[in-house]
Amino acid sequence: MTRLYLRVFLTFWCITAVIIVTSNVIVHWRDINPDNNLQRLRDDRDYEPALRFLYQIVGSAINRNSAQVLADMRSMPEWSTRHFYIIDSTNRDLLDRPLPAGVQHLIPKLNPSHPFDKVIIDEEKTWGRHVTLNDGKSVKIFTLAASADDKRSGNIVWQLFINNIWPLLLTSILVSGTACFFLARHLARGLSTLQRATRSIAKGDLSVRISHRFNTRRDEIAFLAHDFDHMTERLEKAMAEQKRLIKDVSHELRTPLARLQVALALAQQRSQGTVDKELDRIRQAADYLGDIISDILALPVMDDGGWSLDDTMDLTALLEALHQSLESEASRQDITLKLENPLPEALMATHGNMLYGVFDNVLRNALRYTPTGGMITTTVSEEDNQYQIYIADTGPGVPETQLADIFEPFYRTDQARDRESGGYGLGLAIAQRTVALHGGTIRARNRSPGGLEVAISLPHNKA
């Protein structure tokens, strides 16, 4: 149950419940019912709850016999019967209760020729009605309106209304809740499917299709699903063509580049030093182009590329070997390399030397931007079945808005526009995609007071 589903369901249900309860309360408060269509709505002061209660009892009793009326009274709770009295022909209450002063005052006044009256005694109003039952017997019905300072239980009409109506309200609310449940599920299910598909695309899975799940629907959401599939199909095709184009162009460039390098070597031999400066520039440009082509061909795509993680590598040994190989270069720049790894062994399933390139790229990138006298610290830990590797430098860092972009191919920050120092913008992209193929994550953040930290998380997917 998604948040959208719950929001739609609860909104529909609450609105329906409010409508049901409000309409019933208004009908009760205004005394609107089919049996009352020939009566005007009584807005005068005398039409108060006790009088309404009298009308309701009279309407109920007039179609019963004396035995049924007595049975009804005995079945009612005490909190309700103490608000009214039914007197038989012997001037006794059917429940043999002592009579209030107002009732005693009105009993002799009520008869078939004078069936209705009221009296106020000690600020308590009493209403009375003479009624002939369907068995021919006569009774006198009285209702009491409590005085202003009387603290007895609240309005008897409201109490009886709630007591009698709550099963209907509960049933109505449950029925409406069931209807809203299925309606909300029908509406939210399609949106949830679209949401999951969108998240899959954001993660790089362009093969997701959802229109087949809406074959039974002919609404706007179903049309949106078909448009969504059309969009993802075109995106997948465009991405595949782009990847194939880059790979094909890179392969095709290798042949003329190799010829260029051979011709350059011959030219250097025959020049006898006359144009060595110009040839060196050509050689540097050719080497630069060759490095770019090599990196493009090494750039993994987001699928597995036919690779399987069938080898095992010890991260501890890998990081130690990398630090040793970079020690001399770091010393020339007066940079300290520090490895903090309490794990004697950290085995990872991999394919060949794929992980070597990840850490080599990140460490060399840190060496490139760490100033003289700085430090690069590599920390390894094990948390929640994940190897956590943190590589932190003391360089200038990266602008916060560009932290996610540095893992995109050919992206270079403003500080890295110079080819000599900034590379080609492929190292971190290769690292990011390689880590993703291992089921891990890589992210970067700026340190305080300065420097960049690259965090690599790799699962324990041991071969």
For 240-254, write each residue's pLDDT tens digit: 777 777 667 766 777
Separation CA 175–CA 350 (nearest Å): 57
Spatial CA neighbour of 72 closest among 33, 136, 63, 89: 63
- 150, burial (CB in 10 Å: exposed 0-12, middle 13-18, buried 19+): exposed
Q: What is the reported pLDDT for 79?
A: 67
CA triple 8-13-19, angle to 5 deg: 130
Residues 16-49 as b or e (16 or more Cβ within 10 Å = b)? bbeebeeeeeeebeeeeeeeeeeeeeeeeeeeeb
What are the φ/ψ torsions at residue 41 (nearest 5 degrees)? -65, 120
Separation CA 186–CA 219 (nearest Å): 11
Q: What is the reported pLDDT for 37?
A: 41
- Report the Cα–Cα distance between both ends of the chain, in Å, rounded: 37
Q: What is the reported pLDDT for 86?
A: 92
Q: What is the reported pLDDT for 159?
A: 59
Q: Residue 334, by phi and psi: left (phi above 0), alpha (psi -120 to 50) or beta?
A: left
Q: Classify the C-alpha dihedral 317-321-322-327 as positive or negative.
A: positive
Delineate the domains of the chain, giving CATH numbers in brackets. Answer: 3-166 (3.30.450.160), 220-298 (1.10.287.130), 311-459 (3.30.565.10)
- 211, burial (CB in 10 Å: exposed 0-12, middle 13-18, buried 19+): middle
Q: Which amino acid is at 299?
A: L
Q: What is the reported pLDDT for 141?
A: 92
For 185-230, write each residue's pLDDT tens digit: 777 677 778 888 888 888 778 888 888 887 877 777 788 888 888 8
Separation CA 105–CA 142 (nearest Å): 11
Q: What is the reported pLDDT for 284?
A: 72
User: H helices then E strands: how many in the chain?
Assistant: 12, 11
What are the φ/ψ torsions at residue 311 (nearest 5 degrees)? -110, 165
Q: What is the reported pLDDT for 337?
A: 92
In which residue ranges of the chain is pLDDT below 70? Answer: 1-5, 7, 24-49, 79, 146-166, 168, 188, 246-247, 250-251, 288, 291-307, 410-426, 461-463
Q: Name the CA radius of gyration of the chain, rounded.
A: 44
Q: What is the reported pLDDT for 184?
A: 72
Instruction: Give the HSE-up count for residue 447: Cα atoms under 13 Å, Cβ half-sphere.
Output: 15
Q: What is the reported pLDDT for 393?
A: 92
Q: What is the reported pLDDT for 29?
A: 58
- Inter-axis angle of helices 3-29 and 156-202, nearest 10: 160
